[in-house]
Structure 1
Amino acid sequence: MILKNHLSLFVNKITNYLLWLLFLGNLTYLIYNFPNVPEWYYGNVLKINGFTILIWTLVTFFSAIISSYGKNYLKGFEYHSKFSLLCLGFTFSIMIFVMSNHVSLLLTMWLLMGIFMSQLIGVDSRWGEAREASKFALKYFVAGSLFLGAGVLLLAFQTEAFTLSEIISKLSDVPQSITLIAGLCIITAAIIQSAIYPFHRWLLSAMTAPTPASALMHAGFVNGSGILLALFSTVLFASNTLIILFIIGGLTAVIAQFTKLLQVNVKQKLACSTIAQMGFMIMQCGLGFFNAAVVHLLLHGFYKAYLFLSAGEEIGHSKPQKPTPIKIKPLQAIIVLFFGILGAFLFAYLTGKGTELNSSIFLTLIVAITVGQATYNIVKEQSLNLFQKSFLPPLLFVSGMVTYALIYKGVTVLMSDMPMVVVPLSLSVFEIAFGILFLAGFFIMKLGVYRNYPWLYAKLLNISQPYKKTVLMYKSKSL
């Protein structure tokens, strides 16, 4: 028993050191070679470029942080070493996936990512609910892999090429019907992994995982669809399927924000928040901004990892509160509107998005709403004086916009050798109409109008429930 404990500690330490070394190595290489990160090929199997190194740096950082956090959080946990090894395996599967050029390796790694994540969800095999959540999630991951395999192999056999670079170069020779089917299959694989409606239930059911596993899942795994869609952006443009991403992403973003307000469990709240953020990311892909989607997954990873790892402390300091209705005075409304418009102009100036009449206007509009909402939260705060309420909004959104613009431009440079990652779409009547509906749904959610309609409340509550076998089905056996 003592030998087993020592071996477990040794495995955990080695894994943690290895992850930090990988992160520091990737970060050093990225900084040293930025902005001209050289491309490297190993036959037709592997391809490493700036985008590859960027994702490697991100995933190793999140894995190293979560591994370090787990040293104390999982101390004494029987499956701690198993968790560490699964975390390491998951990290390597993402790293190999991003540099895969041959379709067989790419598809294998996509499936392996799902297998590792399902094992992390059910790492405590003694817990019946965790086993059910693991099996339930694995079904979704296998289904997503089958869809991805069908789409990629269809293109491979049609072009008689089995590397990603060759398939993309020969895409113009593929019949439109074949490209459409392949595009739909790739989209399906992506939205399954990102838990986009109607494939969201696996993520809601996976909250039985230990908090470090949840943090890795929400910071790294669900974001994988953004990487996948960026790699196959040319296929999505050629198949004319971006409008599907725009609609599905927009609907998911609004619905998940609704369901988040109904949750009483902090991890379920965070799960609904992740689904909403993935909806925004998918929506950005549908607007033709795959680079913005990558920036979104980068920032979401940092944000959500922090929220999960600090969730226990937040619960300890929180008290039950009744939802406060939104009441805004005329002067406050003017201030909110002013800073929202100012934030939109600053965003457009720094990033170049929203300066022309195309799909980038939607992103600028969302920024204006976000800045306006942040401003409202400040001006309604009674503990702040008039000077603070006037000073804080511009300070926060200016620093936030500058930081975002720098990251956006940096990511765009690293993705510059990838085709079709920044192609704004022309606006259509359909997109404008859907955009208006999206905004209407957003304001209905924020104003709490849904509380006046019990049938809507019940419907939202029902669709945000986890799979029944992952909730208190094995209590007597576990005890």
Structure 2
Amino acid sequence: MNDQNLRPSLLYRMVAFFLWALFALNIGSIVWYYPEAPNWTYGDLFRISSLSLIIWATVCFFSAVVINFAGKYLIGFKYYKRFVLLALGFTGSVSLLVFANHVLIILVAWLGMGFFMSRLIGIDRRWGEAREASRYCQKHFLAGTLFLAIGLLMLSFELNQFTVTGIISSVGDIPYWLLLISALCIIIAAAIQSAMFPFHRWLLSAMTSPTPASALMHAGFVNGAGILLTLLAPLFFKSDTMTLLFFIGGITAIVAQFAKLIQVNIKQKLGCSTTAQMAFMIMQCGLGFFNAAVVHLILHGCYKAYLFLSSGEEIEHLSPKKPQRPSRTKWQTAFVFALGILGALFFAWITGKGLHLDGGIFLTLIVAITVGQAMENIIKRDEFSILKKLIIAPIFFLLSIGLYALMYNGTTIFMHDLPMIDYPESLSVLQIVFGVIFLIGFFIMKLGIYESFPWLYVKLINDSQPYKKTLLRYKKNIK
């Protein structure tokens, strides 16, 4: 094939340039205004705030990276140009969401995100599985929009306020029963968007999309719940539904982490990983750390986009081999455990979180688990000598914790214009009991104890499969 034919089309190059220019403009605006974020409104329709700039910069970055990658990856694909137009539509919908202040615009943006993403999932309509997966996912997205509409419009008509700022400023004047119903509807919408249990099957059924579309979905689309929950944070405090968010995230995190271990398909494994990471984000919201949730969605987006876009190259360099259960020596276990504890203490020292008896303890616990897992991945690599492991692990440890803590502090300072974005919940008996159960489940998973229970394996393998009708329904129509 001629080298000229391998170059991205003019459309891809123009779109990529446009997105990179928007990203640079966003970063420049954040640097210019930091630490005092702008707070501009255009009537009752739009609002530019710290969250708007942060999320828009993130969305433009991911979209630009994906478009650049797709420019060559999808050459020869029949729907080459349709992909870039759908990706642009999705990016525009997310941009509309983060700038929207009017309730109706938020609903249009939320519906648009689902519409464009479902079209990307089923972009090749000739493929029956992709077609049915698109329909199945679209039903979930429509249901999420319906619940979001019920939740927001109930508040709007009660207060005669149709802006987010108006609703939030008057949330204390709403009857508790109505506040609770609205909060539950919005939580369901967020749970569907982020593929929380039991709504996780749509994400596992969406693997028919091209790799660039999967990267955009896992790095951007599922993060919509974090944006929505942060925008409406006071609502969940006033309705006493913060603990519910914490439980939803915790249960989903354990189930998804278990399910990830038994996957053999790399996309299914990454799908379970995304569900688990979104669950951690929901947990952070439930603890009152919406700022941490925003940082989490940014870092997860970078991490997951890289994993999807590099998955093909990773598979190409693999060769079939007999699976072996990883073994850990006592010193490796002790080293990982010690670094996890030190990571939590280091994070607590830099941010000041986790030093008091409140939800910050769980936040540092999540950091400890994350650091421990990262260190374990380094320690168990056979290509590194013991000396290299002892050098690389601490360096990686200091850089990762330091970067996360700095981003956390910087985001918190810039987002101070938003209400209750850093408002840790007091510890309750339910939270403590659930935290203990969460830790027990985590260690059962990491130590491989679950392998002794065949029923658990069967349950997990069944629950982590795509929806059966996305594989079977279309075949009935073949003549």
- Give me the TM-score of the superposition, normalised by structure 2: 0.95
- Rounded to whole Å, the distance in 1 between the matches of 2:370 and 2:432 is 20
Q: Distance in 1 between matches of 2:383 and 2:14?
A: 48
CA contact (8 A) 2:132 2:474 kept: no
Distance change (3 Å), C-alpha of 1:384 and 1:79: closer
Query: Residues 64-94 of structure 1: CA distance to partner in whole angstroms, max 9, x if unpaired?
Result: 1111111111112121111111111111111
| Superposition RMSD in Å | 2.0
For the pair 1:14 / 2:19, whether they are aligned, the reply is no
Alignment of 1:266-277 (within 5 A): 266-277=266-277
Counterpart-to-counterpart distance in 2, 1:359 and 1:266: 34
Q: Which residue of 2 aligns with 1:241?
A: 241
Matched residue, 1:76:
76
CA offsets 1:443-478 (integer angstroms, 9 cap, x no match) = 111112222111111100110110223337657999
SS at match of 2:410: helix
The whole-number CA distance in structure 2 between the counterparts of 1:235 and 1:20 is 35
Contact 1:289-1:424 within 8 A present in 2 as well? yes
Instruction: State how 1:184-333 maps to structure 2 within 5 Å.
Output: 184-325=184-325, 327-333=327-333
Please state how far the C-alpha of 1:376 moved relative to its aligned partner.
3.7
Q: Give, as a single letter, the amino acid of the residue that structure 1 aligns with 2:452.
A: N
**How many angstroms does 1:50 deviate by?**
1.6
Distance 2:41 2:310 in 1: 41
SS of corresponding position for 1:208? coil
Tell me if structure 1 keeps the 8 A contact 2:26–2:56.
yes
Quote how far apart the aligned CAs of 1:166 are: 0.8
Asked if 1:174 corresponds to 2:152, the answer is: no
State the partner residue of 1:149: 149
| Residue matched to 1:346 | 346
In structure 1, what is the equivalent of residue 36 of structure 2? 36
Residues 52 and 44 of structure 1, relative CA distance in 2, 3 Å threshold:
same
**2:56 is matched with which residue?**
56
336-345 or 90-99: which moved more?
A: 336-345
Partner SS for 2:191: helix
Confirm or deny: 8 A CA contact 2:202 2:466 kept in the other structure.
Answer: yes
Aligned-partner SS, 1:41: strand
1:372 equivalent in structure 2: 372
* Cα distance change, pair 399–355 in 1 and its aligned pair in 2 (3 A): same
CA distance in 1, matches of 2:333, 2:271: 31
Superposed CA offset, 1:38-67 (max 9, x none)? 221101111001210111111011111111
Alpha carbons of structure 1 residues 324 and 54: separation in structure 2 relative to 1, 3 Å: same
**1:32: Cα distance to partner?**
2.1
Structure 2 counterpart of 1:150, one-letter code:
I
Give the AA of the match of 2:371: V
Residue 398 (structure 1) aligns with: 398
Preserved contact between residue 325 and residue 447 of structure 1 (Cα < 8 Å): no
Give me the identity figure in percent.
56
Asked whether the equivalents of residues 12 and 68 of structure 2 are also in contact (C-alpha less than 8 Å), the reply is: no
Give 1:96 shift. Answer: 1.0
Q: 1:148 to 1:318 in 2, by over 3 A?
A: same
**Which residue number in structure 2 is paired with residue 89 of structure 1?**
89
State whether residues 208 and 470 of structure 1, in contact with CA within 8 Å, keep that contact through their aligned partners in structure 2. no
Kept after mapping to 2: 8 A contact 1:12/1:80 = no
Distance 2:177 2:263 in 1: 43
Distance 1:382 1:9 in 2: 42
- What do the CA deviations read for 1:107-126 (whole angstroms, capped 9, x no partner)? 11111111111111111122
Confirm or deny: 8 A CA contact 1:257 1:276 kept in the other structure: yes
Q: Determine the C-alpha separation between the residues in 2 that align with 1:385 and 1:271.
A: 32
Partner of 1:134: 134
Once the two structures are TM-superposed, the CA of residue 18 in structure 1 deviates from its matched residue by 1.9
In the other structure, the counterpart of 1:27 is: 27
Equivalence for 1:459: 459
Tell me the distance in 2 between the aligned counterparts of 1:262 and 1:165: 45
Shift of 1:317: 1.0
Q: Deviation per CA, 1:290-339, whole angstroms, max 9, x where unpaired?
A: 11011010000000000110110011112345554454434334333322
SS of the residue corresponding to residue 220 of structure 2 reads helix
Unaligned runs of 5+ in 2: none
Q: What corresponds to 2:159 in structure 1?
A: 159
Aligned equivalent of 1:418: 418
Amino acid at match of 2:28: T
TM-score, reference length from structure 1: 0.95
Answer yes or no: is the 8 Å Cα contact 2:37–2:415 preserved in 1. Answer: no
Looking at structure 2, the residues matched to 174 and 370 of structure 1 have their Cα atoms a distance apart, in angstroms, of: 39
Q: Determine helix, strand or coil for the equivalent of 2:41.
A: strand
> Which range moves more in the overlay, 199-208 or 412-421?
412-421
With 212-221 and 10-19 compared, the bigger mean Cα shift is at 10-19
Q: Which residue of 2 aligns with 1:448?
A: 448
The residue matched to 2:427 in structure 1 has which SS? coil
| Contact 1:246–1:283 (CA under 8 A) maintained in structure 2 | yes
Verify the 8 A CA contact 1:59 1:220 in the aligned structure 2: yes
Distance between the aligned counterparts of 2:459 and 2:65, measured in 1?
Answer: 38
The DSSP-based 3-state class of the residue aligned with 1:78 is: coil
Displacement of 1:247 in angstroms is: 0.7
TM-aligned CA deviation for residue 371 of structure 1: 2.7
Paired letter, 1:186: I
Structure 2 distance, partners of 1:476, 1:320, is: 35
Letter in 2 for 1:211: T
Match of 1:122 in 2: 122
SS of 1:222's equivalent in the other structure is: helix
Cα 1:108–1:439, aligned 2, differ >3 Å: closer, same or farther? same
Q: Is the 8 A contact 2:233 2:420 kept in 1?
A: yes
CA–CA separation in structure 1 for the residues paired with 2:333 and 2:212: 41
**Structure 1: which 5+ residue stretches go unaligned?**
none
C-alpha distance in 1 between matches for 2:112 and 2:382: 51
Residue 236 of structure 1 aligns with an amino acid whose one-letter code is: F
1:348–1:320 CA distance, 2 compared to 1 (3 A): farther
How far is the alpha carbon of 1:34 from its aligned partner?
A: 1.9
Q: Residue 414 of structure 1: CA displacement?
A: 2.4
SS at match of 1:162: coil
Moved more, 46-55 or 469-478: 469-478
Cα deviation for residue 221 of structure 1 reads: 0.3
Is the 1:325–1:448 contact (alpha carbons within 8 Å) kept by the matching residues of 2? Answer: no
| Whole-angstrom distance in 2 between the partners of 1:95 and 1:340 | 37
Structure 1 Cα separation of the partners of residues 464 and 296 of structure 2: 24
Distance in 2 (CA, whole Å) between partners of 1:189 and 1:272 is 19
One-letter amino acid of the structure 1 residue matched with residue 393 of structure 2? P
Q: Aligned-pair distance for 1:351?
A: 1.6
> Is the Cα contact below 8 Å between 1:211 and 1:309 reproduced in 2?
yes
Aligned equivalents of 2:472, 2:241: Cα separation in 1: 41
